[in-house]
């Protein structure tokens, strides 16, 4: 069995290096799989059982530090830290550092520590990022003192350019100040076999320029490269903060009721069945059921829905919600690791492990792009002087050096994964959980959407509308049905139990058995009872007439004799019709509805919603077969199946993209689906497809823009029109623009 851990790589701002790190870690014999999330600076590892964790982490540290010495590798975890106002608090990995302002608009940021409600922050200097592109003590000036001095020296050298050796010395000093670190890194990497990286390329290009006497240009290129790298680092760091700010929604502590009174503890210490108190303004730390109090909850962190919901005794409360107005007491139903908010964050954080085709293509493409451009530079330097009469070697050598500046693929390897993760983060703001970049990208190709009916297009809040009896009273028939259905969590079963509204003695039930796709068989009060659909009666050779009703019929047989039926009706969700309309407007060619209900019910709902292709009376296995036939019949595009995630797990898994509706608190929904819509609203599917299309557009904008500019500049350089100045823009300038463009995916 594999052992899973997660590492934090603080200071990792080179996406090209991130790809190399991921590749090298995956080559370790102790590792099953490693996935590096550049957008968050984390790495998820699956190790072989029995392997010493510390040994593996030390090997990974060596790999990382060989490529990026300033990166700090540590195990990613939630740490208990110091006492604030004599109260234990938790310092979570997502907490803001000294450069960030708390994202909670109700919080006044204080230097050092601050606390408000259940949103505590503690600043620990040891936990700050320490690398070349983040602010450290002393501010921007102290951090970039060498670069600033290089700029001053360059300006003075340019003014004194006619002074001969004085300006040359100043140029060389400025070059050393601006590029000394890059030269050292390049030399170290060459010794380790890492030749084709940006440090080596910039070093060769600028040293070559110095060698042919192009002092001003060599120094200027190194200075502007460093400035561009700094801005790129700030942009990546800002994007990380923007993404992680979305995820700063996990409560830091829980108010646990103990024998000695109330105690503030780590949510991980709270056990199922423990009682906790949620005070006004606090975030709910764990899932539970209200046992005392009532009030309003802000669930926008889970669903994207800004309107508060009212909660009362015996109602479920999900972690991540914020208690708005009154104290409530809840009994915990799930431990911290299994709570709704923990699982949501885990899904979003691990989404990068399922890489999109575009990301895989770019990773593979960049392995060949840089060597091709480097060898092209060699050809540019050598071939024209040999074949063309009256051309100078220095001219073509200069052009070859400019080629090297353009050959770094940073714009692509930074912007593509960042764009995908920004799209996933932006979707989470709307209550749409996308489990991987592959599913996000696949959304743009959807041309067939298949809906389950109950709980997806309809409310799933059933109500008994009719009780039909044969040789039994309605009260007695309802009693048998309610006792038999009391073990089931299905909405239809709950509606029958609610209709009975009397206390049920479950000890009166023996040999209870659920028959998937048919109903229930049990001994109730000593009598063999069948509860289910018409197929159940037919298979057990119990004579009865199939009911022609708009609602769902539950047939009841006692001791082999048909005793009647209970009719339950459902209601179409108010947004279902609009969702179907908008899906068609998005270009979805085929919309299908599948249901276990009879054909008459299915056709009525389909007609009301404008769905032409409807199939009723289906068992779960029939739904799988129908989806398979729909997949086989389409020539291209992707098929989405949208279900409630409870009894539709097989078909959710079989579809190109499985989408669970109404996933709040449903373990089955989160496990089975590729995408979970936390709002019980079919319009969220429209939002998901729009986000997929927008993110894909942004990715291809970056790819086309980056490659277009680079190829264009390479052509201009080869013809002598462009110089190293344009080459620097084609490298760091294009990267910066692509990173900023990727951040648009956060704003969905």
Cα gap 405→726, rounded to integer Å:
10
Q: Are 686 and 583 in contact (CB under 8 A)?
A: yes
The H or E element containing residue 174 is: helix 165-191
Query: Out of 104, 452, 648, 680, which one is annotated catalytic?
Result: 452
At a CB cut-off of 8 Å and minimum separation 6, what does 719 contact?
A: none
Contact 558, 470 (CB under 8 A): no
* Radius of gyration, alpha carbons of the chain: 32
Where on the phi/psi map is residue 19: left (φ > 0), alpha (ψ -120 to 50), or beta?
alpha
Instruction: Please report the sign of the dihedral spanned by the C-alpha atoms of residue 269, residue 273, residue 277, residue 283.
Output: positive
- The CA–CA distances, whole Å, from 515 to 118, 420, 462, 512 equal 46, 43, 21, 10
Tokens read off for 176: 């050393």
Residue among 442, 414, 420 at smallest CA distance from 706: 414
CA angle 101, 103, 107 (to 5 degrees): 80
Q: Which residues contact 169 (CB under 8 A, 6 or more apart)?
A: none
HEC string for 590-613: EEEEECCCCHHHHHHHHHHHCCCE
Residues 329, 279: Cα–Cα separation, whole Å: 9
Select from 631, 746, 630 the least CA-distant residue to 698: 746
The encoded tokens of residue 496 equal 């029958």
Residue with tokens 């389950």: 452
What's the CA gap between 325 and 302, in Å, rounded?
Answer: 19
Q: Within a 13 Å sphere around the CA of 727, how many CA atoms are in the beta-carbon half?
A: 32
How far from 191 is each of 15, 66, 70, 187, 405, CA to CA, in Å? 22, 11, 18, 6, 21
Structure tokens at 718: 């080869």
As given in the structure block, the two tokens for residue 240 are: 């990380």
Beta bridge pairs of residue 552: 568
Surface-to-core class of residue 281, CB atoms within 10 Å of its CB (0-12 exposed, 13-18 middle, 19+ buried): middle
Q: How many helices (H) and strands (E) does the chain have?
A: 24, 30
CB 688 within 8 A of CB 677: yes
**Cα-Cα end-to-end distance for the chain:** 39
The question of whether 452 is a catalytic residue gets the answer yes
Edge to edge, the sheet with strand 72-75 lists: 31-37, 42-47, 3-10, 72-75
Joined together, the tokens standing for residue 641 give: 């199946």
Closest of 697, 691, 61, 242 to residue 430, by C-alpha = 691
SS3 category, 631: helix
Q: Which residues are catalytic?
A: 452
């Amino acid at each position: 069995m594999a052992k899973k851990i997660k590492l934090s790589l603080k200071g990792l701002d080179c996406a090209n290096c991130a790809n190399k790190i991921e590749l090298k870690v995956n080559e370790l014999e102790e590792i099953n799989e490693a996935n590096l999330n550049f957008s968050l600076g984390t790495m998820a590892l699956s190790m072989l059982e029995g392997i010493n964790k510390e040994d593996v982490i030390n090997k990974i540290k060596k790999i990382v530090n060989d490529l990026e010495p300033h990166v700090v590798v540590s195990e990613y975890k939630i740490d208990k830290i110091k006492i604030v106002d004599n109260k234990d608090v938790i310092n979570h990995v997502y907490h803001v550092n000294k450069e960030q302002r708390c994202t909670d608009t109700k919080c006044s940021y204080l230097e050092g520590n601050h606390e408000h409600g259940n949103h505590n922050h503690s600043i620990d200097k040891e936990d700050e990022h320490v690398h070349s592109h983040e602010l450290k003590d002393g501010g921007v000036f102290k951090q970039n003192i060498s670069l600033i001095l290089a700029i001053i020296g360059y300006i003075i050298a340019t003014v004194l350019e006619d002074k001969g050796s004085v300006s040359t010395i100043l140029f060389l000093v400025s070059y050393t100040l601006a590029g000394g670190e890059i030269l050292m890194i390049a030399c170290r990497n060459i010794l380790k076999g890492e030749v084709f990286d940006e440090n080596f390329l910039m070093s060769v290009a600028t040293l070559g320029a110095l060698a042919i006497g192009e002092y001003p240009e060599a120094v200027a290129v190194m200075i502007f490269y460093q400035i561009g790298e700094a801005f790129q680092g700030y942009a990546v760091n800002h994007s990380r903060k923007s993404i992680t700010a979305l995820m700063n929604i996990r409560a830091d502590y829980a108010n646990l009721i103990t024998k000695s009174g109330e105690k503030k503890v780590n949510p991980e210490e709270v056990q199922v069945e423990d009682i906790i108190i949620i005070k006004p303004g606090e975030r709910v730390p764990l899932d539970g059921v209200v046992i005392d109090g009532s009030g309003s909850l802000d669930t926008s962190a889970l669903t994207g829905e800004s309107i508060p919901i009212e909660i009362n005794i015996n109602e479920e409360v999900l972690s991540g919600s914020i208690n708005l107005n009154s104290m409530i007491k809840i009994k915990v139903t799930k431990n911290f690791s299994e709570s709704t908010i923990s699982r949501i964050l885990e899904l979003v954080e691990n989404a990068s492990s399922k890489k999109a085709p575009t990301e895989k293509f770019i990773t593979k493409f960049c392995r060949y792009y840089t060597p091709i451009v480097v060898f092209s530079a060699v050809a540019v330097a050598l071939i024209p002087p040999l074949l063309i009469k009256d051309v100078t070697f220095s001219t073509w050598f200069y052009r070859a050096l400019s080629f090297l500046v353009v050959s770094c693929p940073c714009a692509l390897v930074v912007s593509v994964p960042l764009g995908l993760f920004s799209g996933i983060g932006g979707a989470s703001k709307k209550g749409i959980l996308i489990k991987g970049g592959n599913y996000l990208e696949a959304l743009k190709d959807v041309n067939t959407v298949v809906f389950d009916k109950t709980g997806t297009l309809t409310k799933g809040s059933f109500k008994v509308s009719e009780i039909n009896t044969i040789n039994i009273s309605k009260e007695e028939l309802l009693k048998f049905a309610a006792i038999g259905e009391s073990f089931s969590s299905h909405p239809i079963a709950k509606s029958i139990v609610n209709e009975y509204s009397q206390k049920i003695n479950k000890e009166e039930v023996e040999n209870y058995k659920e028959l998937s796709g048919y109903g229930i068989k049990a001994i109730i009060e000593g009598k063999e009872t069948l509860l289910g659909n018409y197929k159940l009666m037919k298979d057990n050779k119990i004579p009865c007439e199939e009911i022609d009703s708009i609602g769902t019929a539950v047939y009841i047989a006692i001791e082999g004799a048909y005793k009647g039926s209970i009719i339950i009706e459902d209601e179409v969700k108010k947004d279902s019709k609009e969702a179907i309309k908008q899906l068609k407007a998005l270009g979805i060619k085929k919309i299908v509805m599948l249901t276990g209900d009879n054909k008459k019910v299915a056709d009525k709902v389909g007609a009301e919603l404008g769905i032409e292709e409807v199939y009723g009376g289906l068992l779960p296995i029939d739904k799988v077969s129908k989806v398979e036939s729909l997949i086989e019949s389409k020539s291209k595009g992707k098929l989405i199946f949208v279900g409630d995630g409870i009894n539709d797990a097989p078909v959710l898994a079989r579809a190109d993209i499985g989408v669970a509706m109404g996933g709040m608190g449903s373990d089955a929904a989160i496990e089975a689906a590729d995408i979970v819509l936390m709002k019980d609203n079919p319009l969220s599917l429209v939002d998901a497809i729009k986000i997929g299309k927008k993110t894909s557009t942004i990715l291809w904008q970056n790819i086309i823009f980056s490659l277009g500019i680079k190829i264009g500049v390479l052509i201009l350089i080869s013809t002598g029109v462009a110089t190293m100045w344009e080459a620097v823009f084609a490298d760091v300038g294009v990267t910066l623009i692509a990173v900023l463009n990727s951040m648009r995916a956060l704003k969905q």
